[in-house]
Each structure stands twice: as C-alpha cells, then as structure tokens.
Amino acid sequence: MLKAFLKWWKGGYMDVPYPREVYGIVYSAWSGGFTVASDTARSQAAYVAVAATLGMITTREPDGSFGRTWYVTKVGVEFMDDYLMEGK
C-alpha cells in the first residue's frame, strides 16, 4: 500500500490501479452518502481510509463544519469518471 501511495504522490491518482472496492466506496458517497458508523464504513474501513486520504470523499458539510456522513468530492467524481473511462 505504501508503494502505491508514493507512486500516486509522484504522478497522480490514476497512475495506480485501484481495487473495485475503492470505486464502490466513492460511488456510495456519490449516490447519497453513508454514515461514518454504517455497516459500509465498518466493513470497508480500509477502502474508506484510502478514498478519504486521497480526497475522494469527505465528511465536510457545505457550511464548513464536519458531519457524520461521507460525501463524494470533485476529486471523487473525476476519479469515478476516469475509472469508468479506463474500463476497469
């Protein structure tokens, strides 16, 4: 995982092949969000962490505060688009 992160850091997030689960997490956040204590967040914690670390999802609310729901970010939407365009 560290090698993948370092490769991303140097060249951009699409240079690293992501497992389908990361796409699933970002898609779940896009399609209405999921709470930080949901079954999805618990069972897929590592993938939630990857998506959040890379800025694909956030709990930040429109007013700038932080909430209890994961939402997709602009980076996450771009990731989904790129992921689908590459046919993964």
Can you give the pLDDT of all 88 residues of the chain as single tens digits?
555 555 555 555 555 567 889 999 999 999 999 999 999 999 999 999 999 999 999 999 999 999 999 999 999 999 999 888 876 5
Nearest by Cα to 48 from 67, 66, 86, 38:
38
What's the CATH code of the domain at 50? Answer: 1.10.10
Q: How many CB atoms lie within 10 A of CB 37?
A: 9
Beta bridge partners of 66: 60
pLDDT (0 to 100) of residue 32:
92
The Cα 56–Cα 78 span in angstroms is 9
Reported pTM: 0.77
Residue 14 in domain? no
Residue 56 in domain? yes
Residue 42 in domain? yes
Query: Which structural domain, as residue segments, surrounds residue 53?
Result: 20-85
Residue 5 in domain? no
pLDDT (0 to 100) of residue 86:
72
CA 8 to chain centre: 14
